[in-house]
Amino acid sequence: MKDRPISLSDLPVARAFSAGAAEYDGLRRRLVPCFDAFYGTALEVIAAWGGPGGGADRPAVLDLGAGTGLFAAMVRTRFPGARMHLVDLSEAMLAQARQRFAEADEVTFEAADYSAAPLGGHQNDSPWDLVISALSIHHLADADKQTLFARIHAALRPGGLFVNAEQVIAPTPELAARDRQLWREAAIALGASEAEIAAAEGRMRFDRCATLADQLAWLAAAGFAQVDCSFKAWQFAVYSGQKPA
């Protein structure tokens, strides 16, 4: 008897996030205490970029680790006509995203491991104007992050932008412990229950965060220009890079 092939939904990280898919969006404001500034800054970076050629209103957007489509929906408010492709490991998360974009014809979905799957390269060599990600890439090992950054750079059109709203780790264990404690206190103050925090900490077992300094250096090494961090509050950071035109 042949072994059953392992599906994406069998992967531990996919199971962890699938279990809370229905409640995921409602928890964001409690578990990301800097929610408005965090996502708001990412949107401001995208607005300042302005789209391909500085004004096109129909960019091709790739969302890596899209989850329920929360960040993608925010980006779509800036570019209502954007063609968007959402990729995530969790079918349950993508089911929520499909509901969110039920009326949107130009939003597509793919259950895949973006660290290994083609980044839309079957369409042409560089199909994307904008690549976004939120709270996902930190699940990859550092070597895989670096490889992914190079693949994102290759998949962007000249002048294209990569924006990552991410979790990072402080440069020392002491600062990392401080950040975790401050996050916990802020989440409780915003109404997160002990059960919600425990579930979040369970998902954090899959975190493989890197320092902000390392990730900015990896973007530059991958060929990105205008590499910068636009926002940082404890372990939450927004950084970006642009492919030279």
Which tens digits make up the pLDDT trace of 117-154? 999 744 545 689 999 999 999 999 999 999 999 999 99
Whether 116 has a pLDDT exceeding 70, the answer reads yes
Q: Determine, yes or no, domain membership for 99.
A: yes
Q: Determine, yes or no, domain membership for 1.
A: no
Whether 1 has a pLDDT exceeding 70, the answer reads no
Q: Determine, yes or no, domain membership for 3.
A: no
Q: Determine, yes or no, domain membership for 129.
A: yes
149-183 pLDDT tens trace: 999 999 999 999 999 999 999 999 999 999 999 99
Query: What is the chain written as a DSSP string?
Result: -PPPPPPGGGSHHHHHHHTTGGGHHHHHHHHSTTHHHHHHHHHHHHHHH-SGGGT-S--EEEEET-TTSHHHHHHHHH-TT-EEEEEES-HHHHHHHHHHTTT-TTEEEEES-TTTS-SSTTT-SS-EEEEEEES-GGGS-HHHHHHHHHHHHHHEEEEEEEEEEEE---SSHHHHHHHHHHHHHHHHHTT--HHHHHHHHHHGGG-----HHHHHHHHHHTT-EEEEEEEEETTEEEEEEE---
- CATH number of the domain where residue 12 is located: 3.40.50.150
Q: Determine, yes or no, domain membership for 110.
A: yes
Q: Determine, yes or no, domain membership for 80.
A: yes
List the domain range (segments joined by +) for residue 163. Answer: 8-242
Q: Determine, yes or no, domain membership for 2.
A: no
Q: Which of 23-27, 48-52, 192-196 has the highest mean pLDDT?
A: 192-196
pTM of the model: 0.89
Q: Which pLDDT belongs to residue 4?
A: 42
Whether 25 has a pLDDT exceeding 90, the answer reads no
In the chain, the number of structural domains is 1
83-107 pLDDT tens trace: 999 999 999 999 999 999 998 889 9
Q: Determine, yes or no, domain membership for 203.
A: yes
